[in-house]
């Protein structure tokens, strides 16, 4: 009898440990353990029961679940942006990989990002509407970069060449990120994940970004010719599509 109980205990403990690290990401571990995880972990699997007190009943505009807290039992954690002092709260996994890449290219090619100039997660109660792109921050799937410089409702905050860089970033990511400057009511600081949970395009792009870390001369911080014919054509095609579907 005692041996059977011991066996059950071991199996139960193993299952719990597997749940905590399922998919290579953290679901219930503390912030110190989360910070120690390498960014190359696979997409998270949600554990509905254990996240009930963290997950909000609402979804953000892009279809991701809002969360009531960060660095808790959910999927949104404070994460570093290499090359900067910024540590926004974002949804870890593929989303983090993609949004961090956006922020890094912005930092290297448009304007230096200070620690207080990258805003990720916002409490759901601050969201004016679940239809607004800003609601994506409440699900940890959007970053506002230098929001004080590009206030909501105002267009033209970027120089023409800076807009070319933004368009190039979006095209490089195959459209899985949308720019708030394309929305009917612009929020030029905002960059959001543009695909719903489970969309394979997000995983594909994130894996590509992670692969660049092992490829000399690739990835954020590497020289990029945003005026190259092929890159411009791709950026223009995506711009037309995203403008037509924005809002």
Q: How far apart are CA 216 and CA 196, in angstroms?
A: 32
List per-residue pLDDT tens for the chain, 247 residues long. 444 334 333 333 333 334 433 333 344 444 444 445 555 555 555 555 556 778 888 999 999 999 999 999 899 999 999 999 999 999 999 999 999 999 999 999 999 999 999 999 999 999 888 999 999 999 999 999 999 999 999 999 999 999 999 999 999 999 999 999 999 999 999 999 999 999 999 999 999 999 988 777 777 868 889 999 999 999 999 999 999 888 6
Q: How far apart are CA 60 and CA 127, in angstroms?
A: 9
Listed residue (180, 58, 189) closest to 116, CA to CA:
189
Say how many Å lie between the first and final Cα of the chain, rounded. Answer: 63
pLDDT of residue 42: 52
pLDDT of residue 31: 47
Strand 65-67 to strand 76-78: parallel, antiparallel, or no bridges (unpaired)?
unpaired
Tally Cβ neighbours within 10 Å of residue 238.
Answer: 19
Domain boundaries in the chain? 76-246
Q: How far apart are CA 94 and CA 92, in angstroms?
A: 7
Q: Is 76 helix (H, G, I), strand (E, B) or coil?
A: strand
pLDDT of residue 10: 38
pLDDT of residue 246: 84
Burial of 235 (0-12, 13-18, 19+ CB in 10 A): buried
Looking at the DSSP assignment, which residues form a beta bridge with residue 177?
193
């Amino acid at each position: 009898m005692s041996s059977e109980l011991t066996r059950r205990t071991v199996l139960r403990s193993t299952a719990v440990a597997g749940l905590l690290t399922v998919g290579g990401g953290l679901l219930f571990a503390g912030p110190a353990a989360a910070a120690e995880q390498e960014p190359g972990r696979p997409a998270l699997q949600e554990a509905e029961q254990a996240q009930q007190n963290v997950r909000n009943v609402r979804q953000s505009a892009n279809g991701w679940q809002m969360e009531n807290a960060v660095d808790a039992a959910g999927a949104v954690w404070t994460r570093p942006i290499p090359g900067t002092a910024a540590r926004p709260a974002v949804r870890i996994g593929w989303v983090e990989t993609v949004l961090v890449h956006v922020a890094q290219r912005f930092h290297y090619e448009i304007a230096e990002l200070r620690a207080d100039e990258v805003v990720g997660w916002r409490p759901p109660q601050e969201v004016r509407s679940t239809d607004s792109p800003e609601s994506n921050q409440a699900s940890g799937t959007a970053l506002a970069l230098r929001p004080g410089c590009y206030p909501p409702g105002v267009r033209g905050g970027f120089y023409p060449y800076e807009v070319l860089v933004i368009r190039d970033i979006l095209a490089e990511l195959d459209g899985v990120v949308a720019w708030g400057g394309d929305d009917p009511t612009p929020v030029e600081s905002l960059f959001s994940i543009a695909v719903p949970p489970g969309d394979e395009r997000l995983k594909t792009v994130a894996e590509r970004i992670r692969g660049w870390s092992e490829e000399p001369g690739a990835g954020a911080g590497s020289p990029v010719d945003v005026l190259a014919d092929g890159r411009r054509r791709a950026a223009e095609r995506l711009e037309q599509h995203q403008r037509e579907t924005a809002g």
